[in-house]
Structures are given as C-alpha cells and as structure tokens.
Chain A
Amino acid sequence: MLIAQKERMIDYAAEQVRRLKRLHEAFPRRNRYPRDPRFRSAIYDLEYVQIFSTLRDNRVDFLRDIYRTGGYIHFVKLLDSYYLGAKYLFIEVPENHEWWTRTLSRILIAGLVSGVFLTLLGIYLARLFVRPMRRSIELLDDFIQDTTHEINTPVHTILGNVEMIDPRNLSDRDRRRFERIAIAARSISTLYEDLKFLTLEQDRPLQEERIDLAQLLEERLEYFEILFRTKALRLHRDLVPTVLRADRRLIARLIDNLLSNAVKYNRRGGRIEVRLRPGVLEIVDTGVGMSPEEIEEIFERYHRFNDTEGGFGLGLDIVRRITEHYGMRIEVQSNKGEGTTMRVYFDAGETERREK
C-alpha cells in the first residue's frame, strides 16, 4: 500500500520543492508558506530544527523515506539545495483505506467466483462418477422388489406344507431329505422376510406393543433349531425375562438376522450363546471372526462377509436400521478365527424386568 502511495507523494514533493525555491528567492517580501489542498508538509533544517510545519502529526522520522503515523503517511524528501534552510521536506497525506477496500473486494470476488466454479465442477464430477453406481443400486432394488412380489406365494406354500408333514411317519432316508427341504425353505423364508422388510414394508405403520423378549427369542430359536442341528451347533441360552415396547415384526427381524449370521458364519460343531438381560441382548458365536477393518463395513447394505455363504448382504443393514429406529446401540466384538459377539443395548426406559 505504501508503495502505491509513494509515487503520488514523490510528485507532491517535487511540486513543493519548486514552490519552496520560489519562496526562497522572494523571501522576505513573500513569506507565506506554500500550501496544497492535497497534502500537508513541513520543512526541517540540517540540524533537525523545524522551520515550518502544517502537518497534522508532527512525529517525524528522519531515518525512513516513507512511514505510517497516527492515521497519516509521511514521505520524506531530502533537498539538494537547502531552500529556506530546509534539508528535510515531509509530505503528509491521510492513510488511504481505498487500497485495502479495493484489494479485499478483489480477493472476495475472486474467491466467490472460484468457489462457485469449484462447487459446480464438484457437483458435475460427483454426478458423473456416482451415476453408474446409483444406477446399479436402483437396478438391484428394482430387481429385489419385483422378485419379492413373485416369491411370496411359493415360499408360503412350501413352508405351510413342510409344517404339515410329520417327519416321524417318514423313513430315515426320507426324513433327512425332508429336513434339507425344511432348512432350505426356512432360509428362503428369512431372505424373503428381509427383502419384504426393505422393499414392501418400509412405509408400513408400526404396531408398538409390549413384547416378552425372552419368549420371542425362544420362538426364534425354535425356528432356527433345525439349522443349528444341521451344523451340529451347541446352543446355550440364558434368558432373563424382559419386556420391550416395540414392533414385534421388527424385533423378530433383528433377532433372526443376528441368529442367521451366527449360524451362517459359525464353524461346524461350534457354539452359539444367547443371553438376555434387561437392557442388553448378546449373541455369541464361535465362527470365523472379523478384523477391525471388516467390522467397519459389516453394516453396509449388500456387503457380504464372504462369497461362500448365501444371501444378499441385507441382514445387518436391516439390524442397523431397526436399532437406529429405536435408538438402540449395537456393539460388535470379534476376534479373527475365534468368533463374534453382537450386543444390542436397549434403552433402559424401554425395558421392563419381570421377575418370575
């Protein structure tokens, strides 16, 4: 800023020197010190004695050529010929904030233009890159929605008929075949329920009720019993009767998905522990376990832990949605090769303990 002012002040000083010269030649006939509306000035002799001054701020500095003082800028000109005895000529102008304003507005305008440009570019690029991804997700969602509609009737037909058959009337060979059919039917049913939850029941009004959680867990464990048997899993249950106010179908989906994963990723002959305490449901398996990085991703939709097991990778996404809906907290504790513990913490206000 001083540099910008300096050029102007050099011109003022040159003009003032010419006036001092004329006054020197006419002194004392003329003795009015030359004044200019554009600036103020002062003259000092070789011995720093003030000869005359019209400065607003008389704090002068003989060692610098231009400086700021008290809201003014002083420019110092050293005279070659000491007109009126003056060696130092000080030119004073008010500090001009125009430069700051102009520079600041330029920076703001440039920043604004760059910001708008970069934002638009960012939006364009994001759309460009996200479009194929979004399209494939939409296609998958459409496919699942259509498929869900189509498999409703056959799934229920198979399950209905499976439940009507009494395996005790079958030969050993047929009973094994029947169990395989029953397992497959339950797997399809679980998958169907997940798909239905995500596609067809999103907008279904919730039916809040008092759920006997221990009883619901017993029902779901019974439903999965045939799957436990298939993998020769040992089930350990420790259920303290607890009441939770929520939508029964949502809580059933949450339990089914946690149990389904505990079975799916468990090793053959492993163990499943289900514990229920007021405020916390814990399902422990002795399966393959996960690394901390893998735990980060398990709640993402369509994420499958490995390709050897079936499914669309929807289970834990559903669990996440349900826990978020009810303000529950889910905790995953896992060690690679040792197993996984899933804990769902319920809000204390939502639970009731019923003493037997």
Chain B
Amino acid sequence: MKPLLLSLFCAGTLSAVAGSFDRHCVPCHRKEGVSLRQTFMNALLIYSGEHNMKAGLKYFLYHPSIETSVMGRTYFRNHRLKKPSSLPEKEMDAALDEYWERYKVIGHLK
C-alpha cells in the first residue's frame, strides 16, 4: 500500500512542477507529430519580435483558422485545424513565455 501511495504522490508532484507549456502544449504536439521547433521558426518568420509573436500565437490558439496559422495551407492537407483553446489566459501567457524562452534565437547565435 505504501509504495502505491508514494508513486501517486510523486506523479502528482511532478505534474504540478511541470510548466504550463509542457502540460498543455507538448503532449498535443507529440500526439499530432508537429515539431514545436518548426512551428516556432515558422512563427518567427511571420511575427519577428517576441511580443508580436506571443500576441499572434495567443490569438490563433483562442481563434484558430487556416488563414492565421503559421503552418501554411499545405500543412492542413494532412492535419486538422486544432480546436479553440480553453486554457485560462494566465496559463496561456505562461505557456507562451516558456515556449519563447525554450526556442528563441536571441542568445543562441555565435
């Protein structure tokens, strides 16, 4: 009984420690087989700056459309358009902040 309780406790703790991005974005992207890096680079090509990109992605995630997607029309031949996110705005902002920090170009060029 003790080992089972310990395992459940650890799983709950890890889930709480993992960031909003890892909890709400990564699983879905893995499931769909869509590279988060590739998505980021596509978004960078369109939005350029940090705040501009976050605002653009946020709008897309709440109001997804093929026209506002950074993936291009050809992508949707094999993939469906995601459903509008129901994530609270605070969590959405946190997820996008993490996304930017994880994949940003600034500071990673030599």
Contact of A49 among B45, B46, B47, B50 (CB under 8 A): B50
Q: Is B90 an interface residue (CB 8 A)?
A: no
Q: Are A82 and B109 in contact (CB under 8 A)?
A: no
Interface string of B38-58 (1 = CB under 8 A from A): 000100111111111100000
Given A27-B41, A82-B44 in contact, is the A45-B49 Cβ separation under 8 Å? yes
Q: Is B108 an interface residue (CB 8 A)?
A: yes
Q: Are B49 and A47 in contact (CB under 8 A)?
A: yes
Q: Is B105 an interface residue (CB 8 A)?
A: yes
Q: Which of A54-112 contact B (CB under 8 A)?
A: 81-87
Q: Are B48 and A85 in contact (CB under 8 A)?
A: yes
Q: Are B109 and A49 in contact (CB under 8 A)?
A: no
Contact of B49 among A24, A32, A85 (CB under 8 A): A85
Which residues from chain A contact B53 at a C-beta distance below 8 Å?
85
User: How far, in whole Å, are A85 and B46 apart by their CA atoms in the complex?
Assistant: 8
Which residues from chain A contact B109 at a C-beta distance below 8 Å?
31-33, 51-52, 84
Which residues from chain A contact B41 at a C-beta distance below 8 Å?
24, 27
Given A45-B48, A46-B48, A47-B49 in contact, is the A28-B110 Cβ separation under 8 Å? no
Q: Are B52 and A51 in contact (CB under 8 A)?
A: no
- The main secondary structure of chain A at its interface with chain B is loop
Tally of chain B residues near chain A (CB < 8 A)? 17
Could you say which interface size class chain A belongs to? 20 to 34
Q: Is B18 an interface residue (CB 8 A)?
A: no
User: How far, in whole Å, are A222 and B28 apart by their CA atoms in the complex?
Assistant: 139
Which residues from chain B contact A83 at a C-beta distance below 8 Å?
45
User: How far, in whole Å, are A46 and B46 apart by their CA atoms in the complex?
Assistant: 10
Q: Is B106 an interface residue (CB 8 A)?
A: yes
Q: Are B110 and A32 in contact (CB under 8 A)?
A: yes
Which residues from chain A contact B49 at a C-beta distance below 8 Å?
45-47, 49, 85, 87
The 9 A-B pairs with the shortest beta carbon distances in the complex, nearest first, are A47-B49, A46-B48, A82-B48, A46-B49, A45-B49, A85-B44, A52-B109, A33-B109, A45-B48
Residues of A within 8 A of B (CB): 24, 27-28, 31-33, 45-47, 49-52, 81-87
